[in-house]
Amino acid sequence: DGGITQSPKYLFRKEGQNVTLSCEQNLNHDAMYWYRQDPGQGLRLIYYSQIVNDFQKGDIAEGYSVSREKKESFPLTVTSAQKNPTAFYLCASSSSLAGADTQYFGPGTRLTVL
Amino acid sequence: AQSVTQPDIHITVSEGASLELRCNYSYGATPYLFWYVQSPGQGLQLLLKYFSGDTLVQGIKGFEAEFKRSQSSFNLRKPSVHWSDAAEYFCAGENSGGSNYKLTFGKGTLLTVNP
């Protein structure tokens, strides 16, 4: 089955630690995205990538980093510089960045900082 | 600034009743518009989308939405709600032209269905 997988589903980290969230897609999509979701806040864009080895900051990129070394993978690192990292993180992908191309979402990773 | 607004944070309906979830947008030109649904602890699933043409859009699970340019709205409707429709619903919009990508989400409407 084609789709997007995110791992782990739940993640706990201590303050001051970096943590990496995995996102993999087998839809052969060029574009991939990371969103952060907080209760009552909707989804906010952290980073997006149009093609391999290229990515752009979204609205709330501070304290986060990404890489796009392979088409199917777009890992997100939450660094210790992120002031309030506890949230639900969603990865998405689409054929391209064109607005007509629908974004498909993974199941999400819930990160809790202890 | 471009924005999508969902005026209702929480709506409760009885099973079998009709449903309308409101969405208003603010864009310079007609945007692409989407409705997504999210079950607790899950990702988002696309219900329907509007690009152009017929202003009444049919989606999955018996949902439909109507684009009204004069009201800057894209409300989601369902004639008879099922208990399994309880979830959070997000409206989203994107510029239909230009090279700058930006999908903007509303803050969501939580739907509770009473038996």
Phi and psi for B60 in degrees, rounded to 5?
-85, 165
Residue B41 near chain A (CB below 8 Å): yes
Could you give the CA distance from residue A15 to residue B55 in angstroms, rounded to a whole number? 49
Q: Which residue has the tokens 């992120």?
A: A82
Phi and psi for B62 in degrees, rounded to 5?
80, 10
Token pair of A12 as six digits: 């706990």
Identify the pLDDT of residue B109.
97
> How close B14 gets to chain A, by Cα (Å)?
23
In the predicted model, what is the mean pLDDT of residues A21-35?
96
A84-107 pLDDT tens trace: 999 999 999 998 877 678 899 999
Q: What is the pLDDT along chain B (115 residues), one digit of tens a residue?
A: 789 999 999 999 999 999 999 999 998 888 899 999 999 888 999 999 998 888 999 999 999 999 999 999 999 999 999 999 999 999 999 887 665 567 899 999 999 999 9
Identify from A105, A109, A110, A112 which residue to disrupt to test chain B contact, counting B C-beta atoms within 10 A and taking the largest count.
A105
Identify the pLDDT of residue B29.
82
Chain A residues at the B interface, defined by Cβ less than 8 Å, are: 4, 6, 40-45, 48, 50, 88, 90, 92, 97, 99-100, 102-108, 110
Q: Which residue has the tokens 């199917």?
A: A72
% residues pLDDT > 90 (chain A): 78
Pairwise CB contact (< 8 Å): B43 & A97: no
Pairwise CB contact (< 8 Å): A107 & B45: no
Q: Are strands B32-38 and B44-50 parallel, antiparallel or unpaired?
A: antiparallel
Identify the pLDDT of residue B52.
86
Identify the pLDDT of residue B98.
60
Size of interface A-B (CB pairs under 8 A): 51
Cα-trace Rg, chain B: 14
Token pair of A101 as six digits: 């191309």
Evaluate if residue A23 carries a pLDDT over 80: yes
Residue B30 near chain A (CB below 8 Å): no
Nearest by Cα to A29 from A81, A108, A106:
A106
In the predicted model, what is the mean pLDDT of residues A32-57?
93
User: A42-46: which pairs have CB atoms within 8 A and are 24 or more residues apart?
Assistant: A42/B90, A42/B105, A42/B106, A42/B107, A42/B108, A43/A90, A43/B44, A43/B90, A43/B105, A44/B105, A45/B102, A45/B103, A46/A76, A46/A89
Q: Which of B45, B96, B107 sits opposite A41 (nearest CB)?
A: B107
Evaluate if residue A45 carries a pLDDT over 60: yes
Please state, in angstroms and as integers, the Cα–Cα distance from residue A76 to each residue in A16, A94, B1, following that order: 16, 17, 28
Could you give the CA distance from residue B106 to residue B6 in angstroms, rounded to a whole number? 6
In the predicted model, what is the mean pLDDT of residues A68-91?
95
Identify the pLDDT of residue B99.
56
Identify the pLDDT of residue B101.
67
In the predicted model, what is the mean pLDDT of residues A24-50?
93
B78-109 pLDDT tens trace: 999 999 999 999 999 988 766 556 789 999 99
Pairwise CB contact (< 8 Å): A40 & B43: no
Q: Do residues B21 and B75 make contact, with C-beta atoms less than 8 angstroms apart?
A: yes
Q: How far from chain centre, in Å, is Cα A114? A: 21
Residue A112, amino acid = T
